[in-house]
Amino acid sequence: MPVAYCDAAPVQTLESGKPSVLILDDNFLFRDLLKQIFVDAGFSVIAVGDAATALRTLVEHDFDLLIADIMLCDDLSNIDGREVVLAAKRINTKTRVIICSAYIGMLEEIMKDPKMLPFDEILSKGGFKVKDLIDVAKRLVQK
């Protein structure tokens, strides 16, 4: 008997009255860590692991903040985090963006030419302080 395959992520919803965050990261440990950090800080969070799901979610919900890994691995859709950031800004120009990566060289390239990708802040996965990240996120969603 053939096995059916479905790549659809479970439906996630946002809590009203809280600042909303979409987290896109293919590393489930980092994604879950960020989700817990933001939930504990009072944000309503949806966390996804691939670009196609992120794009569908951006169309379904308005987000105050997008945290996007710009270098996704093994994404079957062949869409990377940079394209998700660009789409997010086309869908809702008010969405603030924090881009992240473990690849410091990629972040340095983007910082040299900030016009190539619309972002508000950069997060290096190599090390950050939780308090600083939450402070930045709160500042961004209040703009």
Per residue in 98-138, pLDDT (tens digit) is 988 776 666 677 667 666 678 888 888 878 889 999 999 99
pLDDT band at 8 (very low <50, low <70, confident <90, very high): very low
At residue 46, does pLDDT exceed 90? yes
Domain boundaries defined on the chain: 20-142
At residue 38, does pLDDT exceed 50? yes
CB 29 within 8 A of CB 52: no
**Mean of per-residue pLDDT scores for the chain:** 84
Phi, psi of 86 (to 5 degrees): -60, -40
Question: What are the residues facing 47 on neighbouring strands?
Answer: 23
At residue 63, does pLDDT exceed 90? yes
Those residues whose C-beta lies under 8 Å from the C-beta of residue 59, and which sit 6 or more positions away, are 91
* Whole-number pLDDT of residue 97: 95
pLDDT band at 48 (very low <50, low <70, confident <90, very high): very high
Question: What are the residues facing 101 on neighbouring strands?
Answer: 124
CATH number, span 20-142: 3.40.50.2300
Long-range contacts of 70-76 (CB under 8 A, 24+ apart): 70/99, 70/100, 70/101, 70/106, 70/110, 70/117, 71/101, 71/102, 71/103, 71/106, 72/24, 72/26, 73/26, 74/26, 75/26, 75/50, 75/51, 76/7, 76/50, 76/52
pTM: 0.84
